[in-house]
Structure 1
Amino acid sequence: MRIFGIDVIKGSVRSRSQRPLFALYRMEDGEITDVTEVTLFRLRRLLDAEEPDILAVDSIQEIATDQHELFEFLQSLPPRTRLVQVTGGERKESLPKVASRYNISFNKLDPYAEARTIAQVAGLGAGVEVIAFENTTDIVVSRHRSPGRGGWSQNRYARKIHGGVMQKSREIEQQLKGAGLRYEKKETKAFGGFSRVAFTVHAPRDMVPVHTYRGADVQVRVAGRRLDRIRYEQRSGRPRYLIVGLDPGTTTGIAAVDLDGNLIHLSSSRQMTMSDIVEELYRAGKPLIVASDVQQMPYSVEKIRRAFNAIPYTPRQSLAVETKYDLTAPFSYTNDHERDALSAALDAYRSNKNKFRNIAKRVPPGVDLDEVRARVLRGQALDQVLADMQGVPAPAEEAAPATIVERKVEDERVITLDGMVKRLRGYVADLQEDLKSRDTEIERLRAGIRRERSATEKKLRKDAELATKDAIIESLRQQLRNEKRHGRRLKKRLDRLRTIAEVEHAEDGTPVKVLDALTRDAVRALSEEIGIGEGDILYARRTAGWGRAVVKDLATAGVQAVIAGKETPGEPDPQLVAAFREADLPLVPDRKVAADIRGKTGAVKTDALEEAIRDWEEEQKQFRREQEAERVEYLFKEYRSEREKEVRRGG
């Protein structure tokens, strides 16, 4: 295991004038490998390059000023590197107190010594892991540059970028599938591919086989999803050993101190059962000694002691009130019950204090002192405990010459164990009764849950059916509205067709269909409304914006003639006239026929229209003769030019 331990030499992350300088100790598999000074920037570079298992600090305030900066710092760490605060989480302790648990001493004024100690205790399992992210990771694949406004190659450029985003997202998806991770994907389509693809992976960041990436066209951002607040997770799975004092009665007092005499827990309540007391102590730690302030341990305290298989302690004579006041003077409490429980715990600690001190002198640095104390109090030899914890076989002890004494000790131990077995059997019977009553209560609650769940499922099914029917009704209403609009359009079209039919049946009138402009869009709109067929007469309100394609389309459709409307100022455009003559489609000005226009339809005098078309046809014949003459003259000139070239080559 590779560990980085750091401590501030000078400066601060809160200072604008002097940035922090850290003492850095590198430790690998329990051995110090390097010592150096680094800035915060250099520290981040080293973390990215070496990816240690643990970055250990005594306070996260040395690397971040607030929670936002701490989130950013944790986000910048390599996925496999954990941030550990060796002095605890919500309830912090001093570094000397943490080091004393492992029998480690150091100079508190030397930052290098503190950094070394931080690395050592982190390697021994001390502290809490700082957790800022959920077990969910967000991966965003997006463009690294904007397509911009662009020029001629803009479409090709945008297609290249969006295609790169799509290709990268597919590679990441294959990696996630290969790792067997569950994920959700959201794609934003764009021209030629995707502009953005977001993955929500249901796994912590260190399990995701994708890293942040920045390329020429594509960038990938991998980030864990933040928790609402920073969470501290205890690294060591073993709870701390406690010395517990209990004061039973109508109001139960509970007190717990650690093996160094520090107060860990103090409370009292009038409504606590034995199971509540056991649960509260279990949350606080692991009781090693259960003590009472009276000489004869009460039965209720004895039951709790047996629940934890703890060592009993009672004073030689019941504690006097003056003694209780002296013992609890450095602490604050709210009532006499808390005072009595605390005095019982402190009296038990005081009776073992000298033994704890002697053990600490004989234990080498780097060994869990609390575990050694607990084992020695339970009757194990110190040499054997140290050998077990350090992996060294214990030295063989000389056989005692007095075998009779050994047999006597063994007999006493057997008697003691028999009594313990009887007490434990009674306790097991009590627990089985409690378990039976709780099973009955659990079954009753489960039946209630099943009833509630059945009613809820029935209501949900009914709501789902109603929602489906509402959606069908809304769809039918929308379909009805669309059909009504279509019917109104058909009715208008029928009225126009009737008007045209009435004009057609008139003896002196010819119907015309009106174009808003001589463009393809106007022709398409008129065709959809009333249709354009062979032999129709079209009236174009405006000829501006015409094109040869629309003239060709009208000639192909078999239109008989086109009337240039009144909104065309002066004579029609000569190029427009030439286009109509080339398509052999009559173009008649409105002044010759005097069309009567009403909306999308109208009428002209049949005689005037026929006369205007005859005039156009006469002019068309003259146009064809001129074209033929120009063609013959062009051929003659070409022939003469070729002959001149041949004469010059022959001469």
Structure 2
Amino acid sequence: MKVFGIDVIKGSVRSRTRRPVYALARVEDGEILDVEEVTGFRLQRLLAAEKPDILAVDSIQEIAADRNELYAFLQALPPATKLVQVTGGERTESLGKVAARYNISFNKFDPYAEARTTARVAALGAGVEVIAFENTTDIVVSRHRSPGRGGWSQNRYIRKIHGGVMQKAREIEGQLRSAGLDYEKKETKAFGGYSRVAFRVKAPREMVPVHSSRGADVQVRVTGKELDRIRFEPLSSRPRYLIVGLDPGTTTGIAAVDLDGNLVLLTSSRQMTMSDIIEELYHAGKPLIIASDVHEMPYSVEKIRRAFNAIPYTPKQSLSVEAKYDLTASFTYMNDHERDALSAALDAYRSLQNKFRNIVKRVQPGVDLDEVRARVLRGQPLDAVLADLQGAPARPKEEEPAAPIPERPIEDERVMALDGMVKRLRSYVQELEEEIRERDREIDRLRQDLRRARSATERKIRRDAELATKDATIESLREQLRGERRRSRQLKKRLERMRKVEKIEISEGYTPLKVLDSLTRDGVRSLQEGVGISSGDILYVPRTHGWGRGVVKDLAETGVRALVINGEGPDPHLVRVAREVNLPLLPAETVRPNIQGRTGAAKTDAIEEAIREWEEEQKEFRREEEAKRVEYLFKEYRSEREKEVRRGG
């Protein structure tokens, strides 16, 4: 397995001027090959050329400033290369803690050492894989050049490009069928072939036998479908070993620490059953030791220990309250039950610290310390465990030689050694003080630069704000000016129409007509805005479809003298409504109007004659209506008399 480990030497992905420079360490089959300094661009070239199994980082923020950059970086990785964050996923820890689990030490201030360590722990299975894409891959085949405006051979040129897209799409479709992958295809037809073909393959990117490419006429882009949220999956499926402390009772307290003494879980509840406790511990890790704070382990704690086949631990005598406070002084807990559970776990860890230190001294770097300690605690010899994990035969046990009794040191030599130590410490203190003074001077200089930069930035912000306000005011005034210009043009047109009507009124023997497009409220509103409607006007209505009773009444109330109706004959209902509101309807064939645009004219004699005929008919209509009303009243009276006669009989 080939692993790349990187760490930032200088620069940052968030800087526009100082791009990051990385220390790159290559590890293959557990051996460090080399370490070199590379830029971000060269790192991408090396990843594409060598295609390592893992690219390991201690933080994804070193390669991407935000979510979009991270998606772009993962998209550019070779399909078979995993991006691994060795310090964890949602909950991270320091690289030093991760390396300590494998008995690896390094210089934290050396980027090359950090790159080597990152690669080594990733090769050993530490960290989580960063997953940003679903198990779906999109393949888009499209034109690599635009056809443009063209010349004499434009059609042949376009056929060549679209034919190339179609040919490439068929090749890719054949590869997908040969690989046995399910896919969906969407084609965009064009002159001579296709301008774009999109495949959605139901497989992860590393299983798709197609790669992004660019040709003279055709380009292929292979991308994974992005997840809504970045997901982290551990490289190793083995859970971490835990030392668990339990405090049973009405309220159950649960505490768990790892084999380095770090708190992993601390909770309590009044409603937890035994299955709930087991599930909680199962999600936290693999309990190696189940501990109690009393000398006799309670039966409920023993049942949970048997469920995990864990090692029991009880103190020689039950822990006192003072001892519990001492053990848990550096931790925060919510109640006494959590305190008791945590003190039991920490007491078990404290009893094993010396054994763990001896194990660390005898284990070589690069071995999983947790696995070694767990096997030793379960009774396996250390040599056999190391031989099993490192793949070497176990050494036969030899009698350890008796440790020589050291001679008592001479007092003078001890004094001389202490004097030398004091001198070295004083020299070191002077160096530190000088470094502190240099740092203070640097801080003062940076503060001055910061104040100058802030004042310049504030001035620029105020100037930009003023300019933005003035620009907004100018734009608002321009919009008002455009509106006023539009209104002026409309008023000019309306004035011209009114002058035209006025000229017709002045001419002898003719009466002006105003054209009402339709007998609807929209038509009335349009005429009112265009020419205007006033009392005594005669309106010409070319069509009466969609007329409304309210419109007719509104025109009568406005004082319109008459309506000239075009057509073979108006709607009888319209005629009735007009007679009810006393609004004359004049037939166009009688008046014979001359219409030009929104205005027209008709002979005054013809209009007066038509109005006289309407009024004669109107008198007849009113007589009929009066007769109907009298007849109705008579019928009502006779009906009431018949009812009285019946009641009297």
Structure-2 residue corresponding to 1:339: 339
State the alpha-carbon separation in 2 of the partners of residues 143 and 398 from structure 1: 75
- TM-score, normalization by structure 1: 0.60
Which segment drifts farther, 113-122 or 13-22?
13-22
Q: 2-side partners of 1:243 and 1:398: how far apart?
A: 32
Q: State the alpha-carbon separation in 2 of the partners of residues 397 and 201 from structure 1.
A: 59
Query: Aligned ranges for residues 275-424 of structure 1 at < 5 Å?
Result: 275-397=275-397
2-structure distance, mates of 1:200, 1:13? 32
Quick one: which amino acid aligns to residue 62 of structure 2? E
* Aligned twin of 2:83: 83
Once residues 396 and 29 of structure 2 are traced to their aligned partners in structure 1, the CA distance between those partners, rounded to angstroms, is 30
The CA distance in 2 between the partners of 1:119 and 1:360, in whole Å, is: 21
Gaps of 5+ in 1: 400-651
- How many angstroms does 1:307 deviate by? 0.7
| Partner in structure 2 of residue 139 of structure 1 | 139
Is residue 234 from structure 1 mapped to residue 228 from structure 2 by the alignment? no
Separation of aligned partners in 2, 1:272 and 1:166: 64
Q: Kindly indicate whether residue 59 of structure 2 is the aligned counterpart of residue 59 of structure 1.
A: yes
- Aligned residue identity for 1:128: V
Distance 1:176 1:338 in 2: 58
CA distance in 2, matches of 1:183, 1:372: 48
Q: How does 1:595-610 map to 2 (within 5 A)?
A: none
Query: What is the CA-CA distance between 1:2 and the residue it aligns to?
Result: 1.0
CA distance in 1, matches of 2:257, 2:372: 17
TM-score (norm 2): 0.61
Q: Is 2:280 aligned against 1:246?
A: no
> SS state of the match for residue 256, structure 1?
strand
CA distance in 1, matches of 2:55, 2:348: 38
Q: How many angstroms apart in 1 are the aligned matches of 2:13 and 2:151?
A: 48
Distance 1:294 1:5 in 2: 47
C-alpha displacement of 1:398: 7.3
Partner Cα separation in structure 2 for residue 46 and residue 4 of structure 1: 10
Alpha-carbon distance in 2 for matches of 1:170, 1:289: 61
Equivalent residue for 1:266?
A: 266
Q: Which amino acid aligns with 1:155?
A: N
Shift of 1:397: 4.1
Structure 1 distance, partners of 2:353, 2:214, is 61
Determine whether 1:73 maps to 2:76.
Answer: no
What displacement does 1:146 show? 1.9
2-side partners of 1:106 and 1:277: how far apart? 39
Letter in 1 for 2:339: R
Q: Find out whether 1:206 has 2:212 as its counterpart.
A: no
The residue identity in structure 2 corresponding to 1:24 is: L
Q: CA deviation at 1:26?
A: 1.1
- State the partner residue of 1:194: 194
Amino acid at match of 2:159: R
Instruction: State the AA in 1 paired with 2:306.
Output: R
Kindly state the Cα deviation for residue 148 of structure 1 after the two structures are TM-superposed. Answer: 2.3
CA distance in 2, matches of 1:269, 1:245: 15
Shift of 1:229: 1.2
The residue type paired with residue 23 of structure 1 is A
Partner of 1:118: 118
Quick one: which amino acid aligns to residue 128 of structure 2? V
Match of 1:109, SS? coil
Determine the structure 2 residue equivalent to 1:102. 102
Aligned to 2:459: none
CA deviation after TM superposition for structure 1 residue 153, in Å: 2.5
Alignment of 1:12-23 (within 5 A): 12-23=12-23
Residue identity in the other structure for 2:197: V
- Which amino acid in 1 is paired with 2:237? G
In structure 2, runs of 5+ residues without a counterpart are 400-649
SS of structure 2 residue aligned to 1:276: helix
Residue number in structure 1 paired with 2:221: 221
Letter in 2 for 1:47: L
Q: Mean alpha-carbon deviation: is it higher for 264-273 or for 227-236?
A: 264-273
Q: Which residue of 1 aligns with 2:156?
A: 156
Q: 1:387: Cα distance to partner?
A: 0.8
Structure 2 match to 1:93: 93
2:613 — aligned with what?
none
1:18 counterpart SS class: coil
Deviations 1:387-428 (A, max 9, x none): 1111111123479xxxxxxxxxxxxxxxxxxxxxxxxxxxxx
Q: Per the alignment, in what secondary structure is the counterpart of residue 352 of structure 2?
A: helix
Deviations 1:305-333 (A, max 9, x none): 11110000111111111111111111111
Partner-residue secondary structure (3-state), 2:359:
helix
Distance in structure 2 (CA, Å) of the matches to 1:361 and 1:222: 51
Partner residue of 1:577? Answer: none
What letter matches 2:279 in structure 1? E
Provide the rounded CA distance (Å) in 1 between the counterparts of 2:200 and 2:164: 20
- What letter matches 2:34 in structure 1? D
Letter in 1 for 2:264: I
Q: Mapping of 1:464-543 within 5 angstroms?
A: none
Which deviates the most, 142-151 or 282-291? 142-151
Note the C-alpha offset of 1:340.
1.1
Percent identity between the two aligned chains: 81
Pick closer, same or farther for the CA change 1:362–1:398 going to 2, 3 Å.
Answer: closer
Which residue in 2 is equivalent to 1:573? Answer: none
**Which letter does structure 2 place at the counterpart of 1:266?**
L
Shift of 1:296: 1.0
Deviation at 1:154, TM superposition (A): 2.4
Whichever residue aligns with residue 271 of structure 2, its letter is Q
1:26 is matched with 26
Please tell me the residue identity of whatever aligns with 1:84. Answer: V
Alignment RMSD: 1.2
Separation (CA, whole Å) in 2 of partners of 1:124 and 1:167: 46
